[in-house]
Structure 1
Amino acid sequence: MSEEEELVSKLFDELIKHLIVLSLPADYQKEYIGGGHTGDELALDFENCYVLQKEQYLSQGLINQEQLSLLDTLDDLFYERSGQEHLDFWEGVKTHSDWIQVRELAKGCLTALGKQDYGINVRYEYEKNYFDGEEQWVMHSAKSELVKRKATPNVPG
């Protein structure tokens, strides 16, 4: 595998991780992102791992046209909610009904990609300060790795 193919493969793994996070309930999404604007960060992470790389994923056979179309549907949903008039969507990861659609689309993408049996193992590092009774984030990072669910044997009951 060439260096470029290896890089694209690693970026594809990052895409899968971000789809997993997008498929999670809001509380887990907020925990994963840490501080800041969860909706914006989730969409930017997806964009960085998908939109900028999708042609390479296609050319290397990591996705096909059908999968591309499904991933584009998720990207389009984010794009259609760009702008100040959709702040309720971006700030409403827990409350806005369209986030249900985001989660379902992300699950559908994982299934279409054959990655529905994958999860992520996350290690968090963070640092906070407390001044005048208020919490201030100094640093937050989440390091994740893909893990495949172990097959459970069929045991007659």
Structure 2
Amino acid sequence: MSEEEELVRKLFDELIKHLIVLSLPADYQKEYIGGGDTGDELALDFENYYILQKEQYLKYGLINHEQESQLDSIEAFFDERSGQEHLDFWEGVKTHSDWIKVREWAKECLEALGKQDYGINVRYEYEKNYFDGQEQWLMHSTETVLIKKSSS
């Protein structure tokens, strides 16, 4: 396997992890992102791990055109909601009904990719300062490992 293909496969694993996060309930998504605008961050991660890489995924046979079409539907959905007039969507990961659709589509994509039996193990690291009764975030990082669910 070439270095390029190895890198593309690692990025594909990141896409799978991200689809798992997209399929989770809002509270888990917010915890995973760790602050900031959860909706924006979820869309940016999708862009990084799918939109910017999909030609490579096709090249190495990690996705086919049918799967690409399913993933593209999430991309189009996010694109349709860009702009200030859709702030309620981006800020409403927990309350906006369209996020239910996103979660369902993410689950369907995982099934189409044969990854429905996978989950993620997440390790969080936080660093904060407290001054005058106020919390100041310095760092939030996550280490995420793709794991196959045991068949018990």
Aligned-CA RMSD value: 0.7
The match for 1:39 is: 39
Give distance in 1, aligned partners of 2:136 and 2:29: 20
The match for 1:100 is: 100
CA contact under 8 A between 1:35 and 1:137: conserved in structure 2? no
Instruction: Give the partner amino acid of 1:46.
Output: F
CA contact under 8 A between 1:70 and 1:109: conserved in structure 2? yes
Give distance in 2, aligned partners of 1:132 and 1:78: 40
Per the TM alignment, residue 129 of structure 1 is displaced from its structure 2 partner at its CA by: 1.8
Rg (Cα) greater in structure: 1
Identity of aligned residues (%): 80
CA contact under 8 A between 1:13 and 1:146: conserved in structure 2? yes
Task: Give the TM-score of the pair, scaled to structure 1.
Answer: 0.95
The match for 2:91 is: 91
Instruction: Give the partner amino acid of 1:55.
Output: E
- Alignment partner of 2:13: what SS? helix
- Alpha-carbon displacement from aligned partner over 1:47-104 (angstroms, at most 9, x marks no partner): 0000011011011110011100000001111111000000111111000110000100
- Alpha-carbon displacement from aligned partner over 1:95-128 (angstroms, at most 9, x marks no partner): 0110000100100000000000000000000011
Task: Give the TM-score of the pair, scaled to structure 2.
Answer: 0.98
- Alignment partner of 2:122: what SS? strand
Number of corresponding residues = 152
Q: Which runs of 5+ in 1 are unaligned?
A: 153-157
The match for 2:4 is: 4
The match for 1:27 is: 27
The match for 2:144 is: 144
